[in-house]
């Protein structure tokens, strides 16, 4: 696989999933993960318009027990229409290869409709378990300079088992602050923090269930803004990126 | 019992691969090993770990590091744990727990923000990891069945040996799945020793399930995720006749007893 093509694939991925939580890959790593050793037979399907890449799928043919699978390792499309067209190309390829099943690990929920329309059934291929190790580093990476320098409100975040973190909130942004006394505190455990970070639950729900506590309830709108600023609703980890 | 965690030494790669294949049934060949263990920046003497009990190789696990990109474009380091195995003679000695705890510590020391693990839905780690602070995120996937008859035959055969509560011991179960193209496949099972065993027994059955291929998938997905949306869809399937479940008195008693225990 030519590096030029891989560069184009990575550019499309970055364009489509720029707001999603994803793994970074350079050309070398991507080539290694998708086109090397046991994946050296992987093939690429491209959908181009006026020469520019609009959608792609990387797949391989595998035998699992008595079934022949066409397994899509990565796919990405600029919009739903391109995804539907890409899926037609993938299915055509599967029929030509006499595959029994086409498996798509579509990584992002935005392709659900296009797949359902193409006759695909929803399935659960795996679970991605996540444990929080260093919340300070994570919040530091998400921190904005404006909120760190001139915060409207200062909040203390107490995550069970970790040192207290002081964050400043300004509008819809948050930033790590040092040397300021918090106006109020929130308390939660690691699991609740991850669920809120990954957009699996809402702060209000966690507050009602008692897993999240706020020392001064009048600051609740600030708490909601804080979690909105760190929340990652979308994530993109295709099958080929998994280990 | 002295437990020691150490990293893999040069020259031990093939022994590690051999043990992976021994513990997983078939993990893969040298090609798979090379892709996973020779990726750019990966060092077996830093990232592959071995647990020894009284000097004897008892299990292992591997850590990969990747940069994750956040929504603001910032990058953080994450660790991915995988390929965990414990040799059969050392299972039940807490080796997996030791590895999970140690990996969280090592990952943090090396600067990772998260520790991630990708697992199959009904696997042992899939059930064990939530006890160590891991939050499950279900990976969406979709399948298109081009050969329903073969697919259903293989899938229903794979139900053999599935663990099911002891409350259902002795029950006879019949599952029939049909697809839109008119393919109908059925299997009969007997619950013996707490698991499903294929049987050729004739009716009457204690439990009879007739469902469409779509409903069959939803049952499986619901068993894994306990998702409320799926429960609503399954209720819809029941109401629309795409899922029919018939239970006799003995089966109802078993279900009530199972629910009571839970």
User: How far lies B26's CA from each of A64, B17, B23, B125, B198, in Å?
Assistant: 12, 10, 8, 18, 24
- Examine the fold and report which residue of A97, A126, A155 is the final residue of a domain before the chain moves on: A126
Tell me if A239 is assigned to some domain: no
pLDDT level of residue B259 (50, 70, 90 thresholds):
confident
From A36, A120, A129, residue closest to B116, measured CB to CB: A129
Q: Which two tokens stand for residue B132?
A: 């160590």
Taking a C-beta distance cutoff of 8 angstroms, is the pair B176, A161 a contact?
Answer: no
Domain carrying residue A82: 3-126
Same domain for B158 and B124? no
Determine the pLDDT at residue B229. Answer: 84
Residue-range definition of the domain harbouring residue B190: 148-261
Report the distance separating Cα B176 and Cα B213, nearest Å: 10
Q: Is residue A235 part of a domain?
A: no
pLDDT score for A107:
67
Residues of A within 8 A of B40 (CB-CB) are 28-29, 32
User: What's the mean pLDDT in A152-160?
Assistant: 97
Check whether residue A103 and residue A169 sit in a common domain.
no
Check whether residue A101 and residue A68 sit in a common domain: yes
Cβ distance B70 to A142 less than 8 Å, yes or no, reads yes
Whether the pLDDT of residue A14 is over 90: the answer is yes
Question: A75, A98, A126 — which closes off a domain?
Answer: A126
Per the DSSP assignment, residues forming a β-bridge with B179 are: none
Task: Read off the CATH number of the domain in which B39 is found.
Answer: 3.40.630.30
Q: Are B111 and B155 in a shared domain?
A: no
Question: What CATH number does the domain containing B170 carry?
Answer: 3.30.1050
Please check whether residue B68 lies inside any domain of the structure.
Answer: yes
Regarding beta strands A67-77 and A101-104, do their DSSP bridges make them parallel or antiparallel, or are they unpaired? parallel
Residue B243, domain member (yes or no): yes
Is there a single domain that holds both residue A114 and residue A170? Answer: no
Nearest-angstrom CA–CA distance, B252 and B167: 11
What does the pLDDT look like over A167-181, one tens digit per residue?
999 999 999 999 999
DSSP H helices in chain B: 13-24, 30-37, 44-47, 95-109, 124-128, 148-158, 213-225, 228-240, 249-261
- The answer to the question of residue B230 being in a domain is yes
Q: What is the pLDDT of residues A210-220, one digit of tens each?
A: 999 999 999 99
- CA count, 13 A, side-chain hemisphere, B18: 7
CA B99 from chain center: how many Å? 19
Residue A98 and residue A212 in one domain: no
Say whether pLDDT at A51 is over 80.
yes
Cβ–Cβ below 8 Å for B112 and A128: no
Find the CB nearest A131 among B133, B142, B151.
B133
Task: Evaluate whether residue A236 is within a structural domain.
Answer: no
- CA triplet B98, B103, B104: central angle to 5 degrees? 105
**Closest Cβ opposite residue A129 in set B69, B76, B134:** B134
**Residue A137 DSSP SS3:** helix
Q: Do B109 and B154 fall within a single domain?
A: no
Do A71 and A97 lie in a common domain? yes
Q: Check B150 against A24: CB less than 8 A apart.
A: no
User: Which of residues A75, A97, A126 is at a domain's end?
Assistant: A126
Chain A, 125 to 164: residues with Cβ < 8 Å from chain B are 125-135, 137-138, 141-142, 144
Three-class SS of A9-45: HHHHHHHHCCCCEEECCCHHHHHHHHHCHHHCCCEEE
Which residues make beta-bridge pairs with A102? Answer: A70, B144
pLDDT tens figures, A104-118: 877 677 788 888 888
- Does B180 share its domain with B206? yes
Kindly report the CATH number assigned to the domain that includes residue A152: 3.30.1050.10
State pTM to two decimals.
0.88
A243 lies in a domain? Answer: no
- Phi, psi dihedrals of residue B113, rounded to the nearest 5°: -90, -35
Does B140 map to a domain?
no
Same domain, B124 and B236: no
Contacts of A59 in chain B (CB under 8 A): none
Across the interface, whether the CB atoms of A128 and B31 are under 8 A apart is answered no
Mean pLDDT (chain B, rounded): 91
Question: Where does residue B39 rank: exposed (0-12), middle (13-18), buried (19+ CB within 10 A)?
Answer: middle
Boundary (domain end) residue, out of B74, B100, B132: B132
The first and second tokens of residue A108, run together, are: 């992002």
Confidence of residue B156 (pLDDT cuts 50, 70, 90): confident
Tally of domains in chain A: 2
Q: Which of A87, A62, A93, A64 minimizes the C-alpha distance to A75?
A: A87
């Amino acid at each position: 696989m030519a590096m030029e093509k891989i560069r184009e694939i990575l550019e499309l991925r970055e364009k489509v999933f720029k707001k999603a939580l994803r793994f970074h890959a350079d050309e070398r790593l991507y080539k290694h993960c998708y086109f090397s050793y046991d994946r050296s037979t992987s093939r690429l399907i491209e959908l181009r318009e006026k020469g520019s890449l609009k959608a792609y799928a990387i797949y391989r043919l595998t035998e699992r027990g008595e079934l022949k699978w066409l397994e899509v390792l990565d796919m990405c499309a600029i919009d739903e229409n391109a995804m539907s067209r890409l899926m037609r190309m993938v299915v055509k390829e599967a029929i030509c290869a006499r595959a029994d099943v086409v498996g798509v690990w579509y990584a992002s929920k935005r392709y659900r409709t296009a797949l359902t329309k193409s006759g695909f059934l929803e399935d659960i291929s795996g679970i991605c378990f996540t444990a929080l190790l260093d919340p300070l580093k994570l919040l530091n990476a998400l921190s904005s300079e404006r909120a760190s320098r001139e915060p409207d409100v200062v909040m203390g975040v107490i995550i069970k088992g970790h040192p207290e973190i002081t964050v400043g909130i300004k509008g819809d942004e948050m930033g790590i602050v040092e040397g300021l006394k918090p106006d109020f505190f929130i308390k939660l455990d690691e699991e609740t923090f991850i669920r809120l970070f990954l957009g699996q639950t809402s702060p209000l729900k966690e507050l009602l269930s008692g897993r999240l506590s706020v020392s001064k309830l009048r600051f609740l709108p600030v708490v909601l803004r804080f979690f909105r600023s760190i929340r990652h609703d979308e994530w993109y980890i295709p099958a080929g990126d998994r280990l | 019992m002295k437990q020691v965690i150490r990293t893999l030494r040069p020259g031990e790669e093939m022994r590690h691969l051999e043990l992976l294949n021994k513990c997983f049934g078939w993990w893969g060949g040298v090609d798979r090993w090379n892709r996973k263990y020779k990726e750019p920046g990966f060092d077996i003497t830093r990232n592959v770990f071995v647990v020894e009990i009284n000097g004897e190789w008892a299990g292992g696990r591997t850590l990969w590091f990747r940069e994750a990109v956040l929504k603001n474009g910032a990058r953080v380091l994450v660790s991915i744990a995988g390929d965990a195995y414990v040799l059969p003679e050392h299972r039940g000695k807490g080796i997996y727990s030791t590895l999970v705890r140690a990996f969280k510590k090592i990952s943090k020391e090396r600067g990772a923000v998260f520790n991630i693990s990708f697992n199959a839905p009904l696997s042992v780690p899939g059930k064990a990891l939530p006890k160590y602070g891991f939050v499950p995120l279900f990976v969406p996937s979709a399948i298109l069945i081009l050969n329903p008859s073969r697919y259903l035959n293989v899938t229903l055969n794979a139900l053999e040996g599935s663990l099911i509560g002891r409350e259902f011991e002795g029950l006879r179960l019949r599952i029939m799945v049909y697809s839109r193209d008119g393919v109908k496949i059925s299997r009969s099972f007997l619950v013996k020793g707490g698991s499903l065993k294929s049987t050729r027994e004739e009716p009457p059955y204690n439990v009879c399930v007739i469902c469409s291929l779509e409903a069959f998938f939803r049952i499986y997905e619901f068993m894994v995720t306990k998702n409320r949306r799926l429960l609503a869809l399954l209720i819809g399937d029941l109401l629309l006749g795409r899922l029919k479940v018939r239970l006799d008195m003995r089966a109802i008693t078993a279900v009530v007893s199972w629910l009571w225990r839970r």
